[in-house]
Amino acid sequence: MSAPVHATGIAVQGIKPVLYLTGLVLLATAAMMVFPMIVDIYYRHADWQAFAASAMLSVVIGGLLVRYSKKSLKSGLTLRQSFLLTPLSWVSVAAVSALPFFFSEYGTVSNSLVDAFFESVSGITTTGATVISGLEHAPPGILLWRALLQWMGGIGIIATAIAILPALGIGGMQLFRTESSDRSEKAMPRVRQIAGTIALVYVSLTILAFVVYWLAGMPPFDALAHAMSSIATGGYSTSDASFAAWDENGIQWFATLFMLSGTIPFVVYVRLIAGEGAALWDRQVRTLLAFLAMVVAVVGLWLALSGQYALEPAFRHAAFNVVSVVTTTGFASADYSLWGNWAVGLFFGLMFVGGCTGSTSGGIKIFRFEVMALMLRAHFMRLLYPNGVFPSYYGERLIDDEVIRSVVAFFAVFFLCYSLFTIALMGFGLDFLTSASGAATALANVGPGLGGIIGPTGNFGSLPDGAKWLMSIGMLLGRLELFTVLILFAPRFWRG
């Protein structure tokens, strides 16, 4: 999944391995553009030319980077090179992935640099916020490209969260440092085996979702697009109404299960395949499922008892939308902002939760809330018993001070960034609810915000261009766990 990490500085020559790997990623992105190009050719849509031109440009840029820096990756990456590679590769992919939107003949994003980049970033970060309206009439290639972007971003963040972030000590991720993030030569065969199994699981879940959606009544093309978005917990749909357009034959119940499957740590699937049945009761998974069950029960009962829905639709909409927001998928089966002010407040809070680490979901992540709860418990016990010793365990692992400091720092920086983004969005003339939920949905990679503009049935297309650029930065910042990006602005980072 990644090369060995060593702690040395960045020099001009030291950037070449980063450029080499980035070039390879761009070449892979160009290869993925062939699929929507073929689809447009099949449907005789002129947009195939946009994908052809974009693929050629991506090949040229990626090829030049690879040629310029080939044979530079000899002994793995240094610590600083690893920090640089992560945001550079993601930003580069987002930039070239915006080209088909920009060159497209579809009016919503055509010739608009900010809209094309926003849609691309939202896709690759699996956020699902969109500036495109009239999706039912959009070119098939564009619809497939949006789904592919989320699907690529989903597997990309799994690899990043398992192989890179634990080694970099980002936000407490070192708690999950296992042999999958050990890049010694002895461990590499095992790392490759884990990576291959995760890829197999990811593809298999996508195929299963496609078949289930298709059999449940979705047209094949829609089923494929929603399957990729569901497993990637992305939220891009082929309809402006999202999943409200499909409520027959249990499709929304199936979608709820597939969103959940994407937010479970993919290492758990690897362990299950290896015969470890107890892996399904991973602490993160148990906490997430218990939390979701409690919230869904409360919301479902309220919707049924208040007379807004009958019993089955009440719990279906409650389960679908709560799971969608907590897993940061962003699909919607109904406009939950119309359920009452309490629902607006509840879903606003749910935006920050997120799923499990090592999954495709965004957000703060459930394990960080668990670590904070354990830390607070230990702190209260020390207040009561000053001379006592109260070690905290996460599962069977002792939580050391380094992990606690990382988690506390992550919370502090996350909410500092959130406050600054909210204020900045209000500076563009947006109201408080739009600004506050817009900042949350960007940093937590949720998708829809709240309010009449960017709510579950809204769209981000009417936002000022400056707000779109800002939210694009926020989506990348949140997807890459903040510190991976922010550290690049430290002058000390660039010193030898």
Q: Of 7-16, 383-392, 410-419, 452-461, which one has max mean pLDDT?
A: 410-419
The residue count for the chain: 496
Query: Which residue blocks in 327-431 are alpha helix, DSSP H?
Result: 341-350, 366-384, 401-426
pLDDT band at 424 (very low <50, low <70, confident <90, very high): very high
Residue 426, domain member (yes or no)? yes
Top-confidence residue, 307 or 194: 307
> Is the predicted pLDDT of residue 3 greater than 60, yes or no?
no
Whole-structure pTM value: 0.90
Residue 429, domain member (yes or no)? yes
How crowded is residue 35: how many other Cβ atoms within 10 Å of its Cβ?
Answer: 14
Query: Hunting for tokens 């869904």 — which residue is that?
Result: 296
Residue 23, domain member (yes or no)? no
- The parent domain of residue 411 ranges over 396-494
Distance CA 28, CA 23 (A): 9
Give the DSSP H or E segment for 215. helix 188-215
Average pLDDT, integer, range 125-139: 92
Number of domains in the chain: 1
> Is the predicted pLDDT of residue 152 greater than 90, yes or no?
yes
Q: Residue 202: its pLDDT value, please? A: 95
pLDDT band at 186 (very low <50, low <70, confident <90, very high): very low
Taking a C-beta distance cutoff of 8 angstroms, is the pair 12, 80 a contact?
no
Distance CA 109, CA 461 (A): 9
> Is the predicted pLDDT of residue 95 greater than 70, yes or no?
yes
Residue 481, domain member (yes or no)? yes
Q: Residue 489: its pLDDT value, please? A: 86
Residue 39 CB-half CA count within 13 A: 20
For 4, phi then psi, to 5°, come to -60, 150
Query: 314-365 pLDDT, tens per residue?
Result: 999 999 999 999 999 999 999 998 998 999 999 999 999 999 988 999 999 9
For 128, phi then psi, to 5°, come to 95, 0
Strands 397-398 and 5-6: unpaired
Residue 423, domain member (yes or no)? yes
Distance CA 312, CA 302 (A): 13
Query: 366-408 pLDDT, tens per residue?
Result: 999 999 998 888 888 888 888 888 888 877 778 888 888 889 9
Could you tell me the two tokens for 338? 């119309």
Q: Comparing C-alpha atoms, which of 147, 125, 12 is closest to residue 484? A: 125
Q: Residue 154: its pLDDT value, please? A: 92
User: What percent of the chain has pLDDT above 90?
Assistant: 64
pLDDT band at 243 (very low <50, low <70, confident <90, very high): very high
Query: Hunting for tokens 């990623």 — which residue is that?
Result: 25
For 394, phi then psi, to 5°, come to -110, 105
pLDDT band at 496 (very low <50, low <70, confident <90, very high): low
pLDDT band at 168 (very low <50, low <70, confident <90, very high): confident
Average pLDDT, the chain: 88
- Of 7-16, 33-42, 176-185, 213-222, the least confident: 176-185
Residue 281, domain member (yes or no)? no
Residue 408, domain member (yes or no)? yes
Angle at 292 between CA 379 and CA 411, to 5 degrees: 40
Q: Residue 305: its pLDDT value, please? A: 93
> Is the predicted pLDDT of residue 11 greater than 80, yes or no?
no
Query: 197-237 pLDDT, tens per residue?
Result: 899 999 999 999 999 999 999 999 999 999 999 999 999 99
Residue 462, domain member (yes or no)? yes
Top-confidence residue, 112 or 161: 112
